[in-house]
Amino acid sequence: MTARGSAARRRLVSSIMTGACACAVVVALVPLGLVLAYIASKGIGSLDLAFFTQLPKPHGETGGGMANAIVGSLKLIGLASALAVPVGVLSGIYIAEYPGSPLASIGRLAADVLNGIPSIVVGIFAYGLVVLPMRRFSAIAGAVALAIMMVPIVTRSTEELIKLVPASLREAGLALGATRARVTFGIILPAAFPGILTGILVAVSRIAGETAPLLFTAFNNQFWSPGIDQPTASLTVQIYSYAISPYDDLHRQAWAGAFVLVVMVLTISMLARLATRRLERMRIG
Amino acid sequence: MTLTRCSLPAAAALFLMGALAASAFAQTVQLNGAGATFPAPIYTKWFSEYHKLHPNVQINYQAIGSGGGIRQITERTVDFGATDGPMTVEQIQAAPGILHFPTVLGAVVPIYNVPGVDVELKFTGPLLADIFMGKVTKWNDAAIAAVNQGMTLPATDIAVVHRSEGSGTTYIFADYLAKVSPEWKKSVGVAAALKWPTGVGGKGNDGVAGQVKQQPGAIGYVELIYAVQNKIDFGTVQNSAGKFVKASLAGVTSAAAVAVGSMPRDFRVSITNAPGDATYPITSFTWLLVYEKQKDKEKGKILTEFMRWMLTEGQKMTEDLSYAPLPKGVVDMEMSALEKVK
Amino acid sequence: MLRKRGDDGAFRIWTGLFALLVAVIVLGIGFELWRHSRLPIEKFGFGFWTGTDWDPVQEEFGALPFIWGTLYSSLIAIVLATPIALGIAIYIVEIAPSGLRKPLAFLTELLASIPSIVYGLWGIFFLVPFVRAIETAVAGTPLHRLPLFSGPPYGIGMLAAGLILTIMVTPFISSVAREVLRAVPMAQREAAYALGATRWEAIKVALRFGRTGIFGAVVLGLGRAIGETMAVTMLIGNNPQVSTSLFAPQYSMAAVIANEFSEASGDVYLGALFEIGLVLFVITLLINTASRLLIWSTARAPSRRPAPVKPAAAEAA
């Protein structure tokens, strides 16, 4: 902060450095632009009706599609949410309602730790936990792996959202003689709901793009997967196996898949963002 | 607020309906198999055709490499495995009651991507061993030129591409190299997962083919159909009679003919470097791994029905994909062995 | 507490159970990883981490190449990403005109939303040929003789993996650094300006104030880079060797698990992979805890920020 050298020199340094920061922004946006442009140009051109409606063809034949992979991904996301949302919301409620208790601190810490665990490690854990005892790769195993990754996000956002609900609401309910449970589920949760939904959507957008935890759990399938106890194709794993193959047609399908995946993830993120903005407007207004 | 309130239950209901509809597939029987990428083109073709004939049977095959096939069938997380490297004694002990059933014959070819070279290169066994051990590092090395007289090769670095995971294709290739190069046998050995002296690892036959296709100067080894389908150059290999043979149905069938007389009861046999002028030296059977005692009787029945179809009708489809059908003698042996699987 | 409201007990117990479940999951993961690692731990002990031989045939497993590859690629990512991420954060918080702030923040978040597999796909078809071209060009110069740039120009290898990690890690560091900078009190900057500082000098004051948090952001990025699997697996070359060369194909901890887990036959081989998973678990645990402590010391988490002052009317039922 001391004046070193002439004022003009200091101003020059300032201009250079602020310019460098602007450059950093450009440098970061270049790969973003390249990636999005590549996906859009190669992906859109590769989409055809067959992609959405057909099953993969035998190894090496051209044509076919990722219909089962798209449905499989949706199934996995749905199952994972069904598992993660109750766990995340209820644990978030506890941590928010009893913030002083040791269990709340443990829960919060555990959620943070869970958030940072690499997805491949979660995958091998789910293999040991579900696939081995069941003696089968299955959609439920994949869903368990994805759910484990969703829980911390849902827990934290539930906790934060419930804390934001004004204390007066809770106190009013309790004063009127309602039980804690009634107050939480009848008053507080509905008030916090848009924010919690945002948290769920953020969690979904995170796992929708995951590949590693599915490699040893949901495995893959060339056909439709009946029920939830069979190996399931997923968009991400399919893109992976096509990307490293030598067949040009499979590369084409991989781009199409990547395009669909990116659109899916961005749409969910967008929805989450819209819900956040709505929430902020509700709070301020 | 009402919109979000209504949309969530609506979405849940939709999903539930979809799940119920999906589980209406319940009368379809699904068999799951995993293993070798070497025969993946013909296996997936078979399963697809079989599904057309029997729409309620879905056989899902995932090509994750022979190592994966052996491991998953050992843990019984799949209904059958597939491998091109026969299980070792220890592996069989870990999976009591496992049976090997040969399905087709295939060839492993040396693929390469040398800038400016579009013709067939010749390779001797020891030369291949030296390249893959990292002792020959440039394409214009004297050792390569000695075998390929009259050809000018560029000074590009040789980029070795091998398998990153346990692979039957690796096993076949290493099995051949150990027979023709004592140094390979001593320093690298024969197994599905090797400690490679050099190179990059590709995942599956696909990964190796893909890597070689994109990398100038690369050399790798894949099953014949992968080179053919992707129009990747592959060279001729010198066989035990001294002739340079390009992999083809004829060369593979010639190697198989040798095996018929000496096929052991458990079908675990190596036919690399087989005798004969027209024999292609890097040839092998590939096997399905099936338990003698099937835990799920219904699935066991469907599996054996498929295998009988595979040994008769299925064998007619192999040549289109450059795999050689099994010799009749072997088919007969297998048919009787299948009786044991219940 | 349980007896205070007669029917509160059940609520507290049930929700408490779920909070406990989260902790049980974490402990369960750690326990499972440890349990499956017992064999190689007994067999190799600490030598597992210094050995360089990854030999499934001989059942000799040394994991040094994977640690090396993970740390090397992550280091490249951090070295390249930190200045860029900080530059972005500074620009958005301190320099950009207010209309540009939201769109720029949005675009950096976009970088973070792209799935890892898509980065891998783009990496194979765009980044690798690009890196190969650079490597071929360098190979023609005297630089090629340096160990850092030695080896054939594969394209695939440490450099490609490091670059893709850089791209993936930048938005994480940047968004946390942004939060940290925003939490720096305006008074700090105003004091600097009052004393005649230039723009950059005032920014330096803010950076200084938030340096612990920014360091935490970098550590967070490191944790992210260490755990990244798919994009690295597709670009790093899958060769378990310890090499200083950027051109050399190498291996990382997450990549070897992804490639070899489904087919590691034999209890020792599988156990070795689980042990690598265990170490990944412990490392990311430590890094994330450290980064969180560092970040919270400067930037207060949103729930701890003093609530905006609202007129009493808004609060009344």
Q: Are residues A92 and A207 in the same domain?
A: yes
Mean pLDDT of C219-239: 93
pLDDT given at position B255: 84
**Which residues in chain B are closer than 8 Å to A223, comparing Cβ atoms?**
30, 51, 58, 60
Indicate whether A166 belongs to any domain.
Answer: yes
Domain boundaries, chain C: 17-301
Q: Which of residues 173-192 of C touch A (CB under 8 A)?
A: 174, 192
How far B156 CA sits from the closest chain C CA (Å)? 9
Q: Which of residues 41-80 of C touch A (CB under 8 A)?
A: none
| Maximum Cα–Cα distance across chain B | 82
**Which residues in chain B are closer than 8 Å to A228, comparing Cβ atoms?**
19, 23
Mean pLDDT of B285-313: 93
**Residue A147's CB: how many other CB atoms inside 10 A?**
27
Mean pLDDT of A80-94: 94
Q: Which two tokens stand for residue B11?
A: 């979405």
pLDDT given at position B119: 85
Cβ distance of C84 and A236 shorter than 8 Å: no
pLDDT given at position C298: 63
Please check whether residue C29 is in contact with residue C278, taking contact to mean a CB–CB distance below 8 angstroms.
no
Cβ distance of C117 and A17 shorter than 8 Å: no
Confidence band of C57 (pLDDT split at 50, 70, 90): confident
B300 vs B291: CA distance, rounded Å:
9
For C181-215, write each residue's pLDDT tens digit: 988 888 888 898 899 888 888 888 889 888 888 99
Q: Are residues A21 and A60 in the same domain?
A: no
Is residue C314 classed exposed, middle or buried when 0-12, 13-18 and 19+ CB atoms within 10 A define those classes?
exposed
C232-235 own/partner pairs: CB under 8 Å, 24+ apart: C232/C73, C232/C161, C232/C164, C232/C165, C233/C120, C233/C258, C233/C259, C234/A240, C234/A243, C234/A244, C234/C120, C234/C121, C234/C123, C234/C124, C235/C120, C235/C123, C235/C124, C235/C127, C235/C128, C235/C156, C235/C157, C235/C160, C235/C161, C235/C164
Closest-CA residue of chain C to A239? C117
Q: Give percent of chain A above pLDDT 90.
A: 53
Whether the full predicted model's pTM is greater than 0.95, yes or no, is no
Indicate whether A3 belongs to any domain.
Answer: no
Cβ distance of A224 and B25 shorter than 8 Å: yes
Please determine, for residue A139, whether its predicted confidence score (pLDDT) is greater than 90.
Answer: yes
pLDDT given at position B5: 52
Number of domains chain A contains: 2
Please check whether residue C230 is in contact with residue C161, taking contact to mean a CB–CB distance below 8 angstroms.
no
Q: Are residues A131 and A41 in the same domain?
A: no
Q: Which two tokens stand for residue B58?
A: 């879905």
Mean pLDDT of B3-32: 62
Least confident interval from A97-101, C168-172, C224-228: A97-101
For C10-29, write each residue's pLDDT tens digit: 888 888 999 999 999 999 99
C233 vs C243: CA distance, rounded Å:
17
Indicate whether A144 belongs to any domain.
Answer: yes
DSSP run (H or E) holding B107: strand B98-113
pLDDT given at position A282: 66
Q: What is the DSSP letter of C49?
A: G
Please determine, for residue B1, whether its predicted confidence score (pLDDT) is greater than 60.
Answer: no
* CB-based contact, B75 to chain A, within 8 Å: yes
Please determine, for residue B172, whether its predicted confidence score (pLDDT) is greater than 90.
Answer: yes
Cβ distance of A258 and C33 shorter than 8 Å: no
Mean pLDDT of C218-225: 92
DSSP string, C69-107: HHHHHHHHHHHHHHHHHHHHHHIIIIIS-HHHHHHHHHH
Q: Are residues A227 and A120 in the same domain?
A: yes
Mean pLDDT of A23-51: 90
For C283-315, write each residue's pLDDT tens digit: 999 998 888 888 777 655 443 444 444 444 333
Confidence band of A169 (pLDDT split at 50, 70, 90): confident
Candidate CATH numbers 1.10.3720.10, 1.20.1640.10, 3.30.300.20, 3.40.640.10; the one for domain C17-301: 1.10.3720.10
Alpha helices in A127-247 (DSSP H): 132-134, 139-164, 167-175, 180-183, 189-208, 212-215, 235-243
Name the residue range of residue A148's domain.
Answer: 52-284
Written as one letter, the residue type at A69 is A
* CB-based contact, B142 to chain A, within 8 Å: no
Q: Are residues A17 and A72 in the same domain?
A: no
Q: Give percent of chain C above pLDDT 90.
A: 47
pLDDT given at position A81: 95
C201 vs A264: CA distance, rounded Å:
43
Indicate whether A2 belongs to any domain.
Answer: no
Of B1, B23, B206, the CB nearest to A246: B206
Cβ distance of A245 and B22 shorter than 8 Å: no
Backbone dihedral region of C157: left (phi > 0), alpha (psi from -120 to 50 degrees) or beta? left
A108 vs A96: CA distance, rounded Å:
10
Least confident interval from B67-71, C57-61, C115-119, C243-247: C57-61
Q: Are residues A126 and A220 in the same domain?
A: yes
How far C272 CA sits from the closest chain A CA (Å)? 13
Closest by Cα among A269, A243, A270 to A256: A243
* CB-based contact, C292 to chain A, within 8 Å: yes
Q: Give percent of chain B above pLDDT 70.
A: 92
pLDDT given at position C102: 87
**Which residues in chain B are closer than 8 Å to C238, comparing Cβ atoms?**
164, 200-203
Q: Are residues A42 and A95 in the same domain?
A: no
Q: Which two tokens stand for residue A113?
A: 């730790």
Query: What ipTM does the predicted assembly reach?
Result: 0.90
Of residues A109 and A60, the one with the higher pLDDT is A109
Q: Are residues A90 and A221 in the same domain?
A: yes
Q: Which two tokens stand for residue A95?
A: 């941590």
Of residues B2 and C165, the one with the higher pLDDT is C165
